[in-house]
Amino acid sequence: MQHSHYGHASLYSGTGLRKYLTRDERARFLAASLAVQRSDLRTLCLTLAYTGCRISEALALTAASVQAAEGIVAIRTLKKRNGLVVVREVPIPPLLIAEFERVHGLSSSHPLQRLWPLSRGRAWQLVKEVMAEAGIQAGIHATPKGLRHGFGLHAIRCGIPINLVQRWLGHASMTTTAIYLQAVGAEEREIAARMWI
């Protein structure tokens, strides 16, 4: 658990509990999301997993936010930044674009129609139910925020440059994004394994 040079932000709570979904938990969440019968919940869960956006940012997305031809979703950052409106473009996989088209009929929808007319509380509850269905043990990591942290870690572990992770997550400061460098990755475990011989 490192706290000091990453400021107050950390991937662990003050009591040492993990705040992020592991690679395995994230994979199980994606599989459970794809199996969800309720199609709008399926696209919500996939959006959270594949973009790392905050749940309130996802709920603000409209048909116009999804730029299918470009393979991106334009997410309005809801954190206050001197009154400026900040929109970030996040690449999304073809699978999610196809789901958006199939479920939300993007081309026939009103461009400003919200994709998910849910309250934040109800959406949070539904996502938690999918996590339970995925066999993710209850805890502070088993939340939409834990999914966001899991996205950040997954991106770093896949070799995505930290400046892109910062942009995709909508962090104003690189210091915030740097918390994802705390987690031990495969390369670090491989190096450590040399000492175990």
97 within a domain of the structure (yes/no): yes
Mean pLDDT of 76-88: 80
Is residue 153 one of the residues assigned to a domain? Answer: yes
In a domain, 89, yes or no: yes
Please indicate, yes or no, if residue 195 is contained in any of the structural domains. Answer: no
Domain that residue 92 falls in: 4-190
In a domain, 197, yes or no: no
What integer pLDDT is reported at residue 181 of this predicted model? 81
Domain with 124 in it: what CATH number? 1.10.443.10
pLDDT for 15-59, tens place per residue? Answer: 999 999 999 999 999 999 999 999 999 999 999 999 999 999 999
What pLDDT, on a 0 to 100 scale, did the predictor assign at position 7? 41
Counted domains in the chain? 1
Separation CA 74–CA 95 (nearest Å)? 17
pTM, entire model? 0.88
The verdict on residue 90 lying in a domain is yes
What confidence category does residue 81 fall into, taking pLDDT thresholds of 50, 70 and 90? Answer: low
Pick the closest to residue 32 from 55, 57, 49, 52 (CA basis): 49
- Asked if the structure places residue 178 within a domain, the reply is yes
Residue 78's pLDDT is what?
75
User: Which tens digits make up the pLDDT trace of 117-135?
Assistant: 999 999 999 999 999 999 9
Asked whether the predicted pLDDT for residue 2 surpasses 50, the reply is no
Statement: residue 1 has pLDDT above 70: no
- Which amino acid is present at 160? I
Within a domain: residue 196? no
Instruction: Provide the pLDDT confidence category of residue 115 given band limits of 50, 70 and 90.
Output: very high
Quote the pLDDT of residue 185: 66
Helix (H, G, I), strand (E, B) or coil at 157: helix
Q: Are 75 and 57 spatial neighbours (Cβ–Cβ below 8 Å)?
A: yes
